[in-house]
Each structure stands twice: as C-alpha cells, then as structure tokens.
C-alpha cells in the first residue's frame, strides 16, 4: 500500500518553489522511505515498548517532591536566555529548516561512540536553559540516574543518557546556539501563543507569509507529527541518528524527538496535528519530561563511577563499541 500523502500536494509545490536551496518535502520523504527499506534489510528494528514497559514508565513518583515553581521561569530569566529566544524565533523559518535537513543528509560529520560524544559535548553550556549551568554530561547522567532509580525500563534509562547528545551539532554545522538548543515548535504554520516569548515571532518572516502564517499552514489536521517539520535543533538531529543506528523503541524515539516540544507536551498546543500514534507517543514524552527537567536539581553524579553500567546499556542498543555516524 502506498503511504498516505504527507501534506496536500498542491500547497507544497506552490509554496516550495521559492526554496530551491532546500530539499522539497517530497524528496525528504523519499529519503526517509529509502532509510526504512535499508533498515529492514539490515534487520535493525526499533519496535514498540511492551505493555508492561508502558505501565512501568507511566507511573512515576519522581517529581512529587520537587517544587515546580523553581523551573522554567522565563519571565524572570536572565538576558542570556531572552536574547537566545529572540534570535531563535526570528531565524527558524521554513527555508532554513529545509536547508538544515538537506545539509544533515549530505554528509557524516564525525564518527564517535556514544560515550565519546558525551565527552565531546562536555564543554557546551546551553544558553537557552534558565535551570542549569552544569555541563551536559552531568545533566545527561542526572536524567539517566533518576530514571534508573525509579526502576524504569533499560531503554528509557539509555534515552535519558543520550537525549541531549544532539547538541553536538553545535560543534559541526550550527550557525549559533539558536539552531541547536531551546524549546521547539512547528514551522510552516502559525506560531502558537503557548510557545514561550510568543511576541518575538513578529520578527520571523514566516509569520506574515500567506501560507505559513495561517493556522494549519502547509499541513492538514490529523497529518501526524511524523509529517511535521519541527524547528531544527538537537532533538530532530539526534532523532534521525538514533532511529537509523539503534534498536531503541518508538517511545524512546518520541522522547528524543519531542522532549523540547513544550508547547505540545506541556501546554496542549498543536493538538490538531496529531494522529493515533501521536496520542500514544505523547504519553511517553510526558512520562519522560519530569526526569529531564526536575533532575536538574539533583546531586551531580560522577561519570567515572557510572561508566561501566552505562557502557553496557549503550552496547545493548547501539551494538558493541559501535562508532555512531554523527
Ligand atoms: O533550555 C532547554 C534545553 O536546551 C533543553 O535541552 C531542551 O530540551 C529544552 O526544551 C530547553 O528548554
Ligand atoms: Fe534537550
Ligand atoms: Fe535535557
């Protein structure tokens, strides 16, 4: 059976004629199809979490003791954070997103094991984050350890460990931090007011575009998030890598791809895009979020003490001592 068209075709060809520097969405989806065929041939399978695992990850007590008012206070955030989002909201356009995906597909930037990637990332301090000034390896270990302490499935522990590794982009093709970190949102349709600092989208040329500026833009309701272009950054980049090079299940892929999509998983925006699969994935992302956000105030784990445990976990889903193509 031929896959359902991603988005209504006439709109796409009309709107994308102006973006010859990027891949058309049709070509992108062809690429994705080719990858899926290759994966089937190589017997790399992501699969879905078992019901038992879904039950385990759904019931969490982890954040009960956390004072939620201490996190994500953007109104009180420092200028570093505010300036970051002003720039990001101005520059994340459809044209840029097509180009970024095209560049991503064009080459391999580095070959590093997961652990090497964590070490490389260690010097990056995330300008968008009002809640932590720790290094990334510390944040990754905090998230993974919180998930592990709560007895969650092994694949979810590993997801905690790697979920921000896409920030490696900063050392390769990025134009700054604005196309690497921060919350994400769809491009190609109206920017929702539930995105933080919504007023800063006035400076984004897409906001006034006759197609992209409308509620549904280039999409149709129910098209499914797999068919939506989320602003390019660490989530999207890592998602593609993990999908192609690991056996982590769909729920893990969703936790990675949507963990910064707060307007959707926290604020309830963009519900009209969802299909049945997305409803299940939303549960997974919501189960993951507290470990990402509230573990930032936990004790700082020591990487050397935990390395053996996590190396085994990495081997289990990526292959023994596997160099990942970044
Ligand atoms: O500042 C943070 C940080 O960049 C995280 O890695 C991202 O996932 C969050 O959504 C964002 O708010
Ligand atoms: Fe993140
Ligand atoms: Fe994170």
What are residue 230's DSSP bridge partners? Answer: 186
Distance (angstroms) between ligand 1 centre and the Cα of 234 equals 9
Residue 301 and residue 270 in contact, taking contact as beta carbons nearer than 8 Å = no
Two structure tokens written together for 62:
């982890």
Per-residue pLDDT at 12: 37
Per-residue pLDDT at 69: 85
Atom index in ligand 1 nearest the CA of residue 130 equals: 1
Tell whether ligand 1 has an atom less than 6 A from the beta carbon of residue 298: no
163 marked among binding-site residues? yes
**Alpha-carbon distance 50 to 201, whole Å?**
41
Distance (angstroms) between ligand 3 centre and the Cα of 245 equals 21
Residue 92 and residue 204 in contact, taking contact as beta carbons nearer than 8 Å = yes
Residue 255 and residue 143 in contact, taking contact as beta carbons nearer than 8 Å = no
Tell whether ligand 1 has an atom less than 6 A from the beta carbon of residue 127: no
**Alpha-carbon distance 290 to 293, whole Å?**
5
Per-residue pLDDT at 180: 98
From residue 110, how far is each of 104, 119, 176, 277, 326 by CA, in Å?
A: 12, 14, 19, 33, 5
**Alpha-carbon distance 300 to 322, whole Å?**
27
**Alpha-carbon distance 185 to 207, whole Å?**
13
Residues present in the chain in total? 326
183 marked among binding-site residues? yes
Residue 151 and residue 104 in contact, taking contact as beta carbons nearer than 8 Å = no
Ligand 1 pocket mutation, candidates 126, 132, 194, criterion most atoms within 8 A of CB:
126
Tell whether ligand 1 has an atom less than 6 A from the beta carbon of residue 164: yes
Tell whether ligand 1 has an atom less than 6 A from the beta carbon of residue 12: no
Per-residue pLDDT at 7: 43
Q: Is the pTM of this model over 0.90?
A: no
Q: Where are the alpha helices (DSSP H) in the chain?
A: 9-16, 25-42, 51-58, 79-91, 94-106, 114-121, 136-149, 154-162, 234-245, 250-258, 262-265, 276-294, 303-318
Give one word for 182, left, alpha or beta, with left for phi > 0 and alpha for psi -120 to 50.
left
**Alpha-carbon distance 171 to 181, whole Å?**
12
Per-residue pLDDT at 134: 84
Two structure tokens written together for 81:
């954070």
**Alpha-carbon distance 166 to 204, whole Å?**
24
pLDDT, tens digit, 9 for 90 and up, residues 192-208: 999 999 999 999 999 99
SS3 111: strand
Per-residue pLDDT at 299: 87
Per-residue pLDDT at 4: 52
Tell whether ligand 1 has an atom less than 6 A from the beta carbon of residue 128: yes
Low-confidence spans in the chain with pLDDT less than 50: 1, 5-23, 43
Two structure tokens written together for 9:
């075709």
DSSP state of 324: E
Distance (angstroms) between ligand 1 centre and the Cα of 125 equals 11
From residue 325, how far is each of 35, 86, 114 by CA, in Å?
A: 14, 32, 10
Number of Cβ within 10 Å of residue 83's Cβ equals 13
């Amino acid at each position: 059976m031929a896959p359902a068209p991603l988005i209504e075709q006439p709109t796409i060809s009309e709107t994308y004629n102006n973006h010859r520097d990027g891949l058309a969405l049709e070509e992108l989806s062809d690429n994705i199809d080719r990858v899926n065929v290759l994966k089937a041939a190589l017997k790399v399978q992501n699969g879905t979490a078992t019901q038992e695992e879904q039950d385990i990850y759904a019931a969490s007590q982890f954040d009960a003791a956390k004072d939620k008012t201490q996190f994500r206070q953007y109104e009180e955030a420092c200028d570093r954070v505010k300036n970051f989002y002003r720039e990001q909201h101005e520059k994340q356009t459809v044209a840029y997103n097509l180009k970024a995906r095209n560049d991503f597909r064009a080459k391999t930037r580095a070959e590093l094991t997961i652990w090497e990637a964590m070490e490389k990332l260690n010097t990056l301090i995330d300008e968008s984050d009002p809640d932590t000034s720790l290094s990334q390896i510390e944040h990754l270990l905090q998230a993974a350890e919180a998930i592990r302490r709560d007895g969650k499935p092994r694949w979810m522990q590993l997801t905690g460990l790697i979920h921000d590794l896409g920030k490696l982009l900063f050392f390769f093709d990025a134009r700054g931090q604005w196309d690497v970190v921060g919350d994400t949102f769809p491009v190609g349709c109206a920017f929702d007011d539930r995105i933080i600092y919504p007023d800063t989208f006035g400076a984004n040329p897409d906001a006034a575009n006759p197609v992209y500026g409308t509620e549904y833009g280039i999409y149709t309701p129910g098209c499914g998030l797999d068919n939506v272009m989320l602003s390019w950054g660490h989530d999207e980049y890592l998602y593609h890598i993990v999908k192609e090079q690991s056996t982590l299940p769909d729920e893990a892929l969703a936790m990675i791809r949507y963990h910064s999509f707060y307007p959707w998983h926290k604020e309830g925006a963009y519900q009209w895009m969802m299909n049945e699969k997305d409803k299940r994935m939303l549960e997974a992302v919501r189960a993951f979020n507290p470990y990402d956000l509230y573990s930032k105030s936990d004790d700082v784990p020591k990487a050397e003490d935990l390395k053996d445990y996590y190396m085994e976990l990495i081997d289990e889903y990526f292959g023994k001592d596997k160099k990942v193509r970044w």
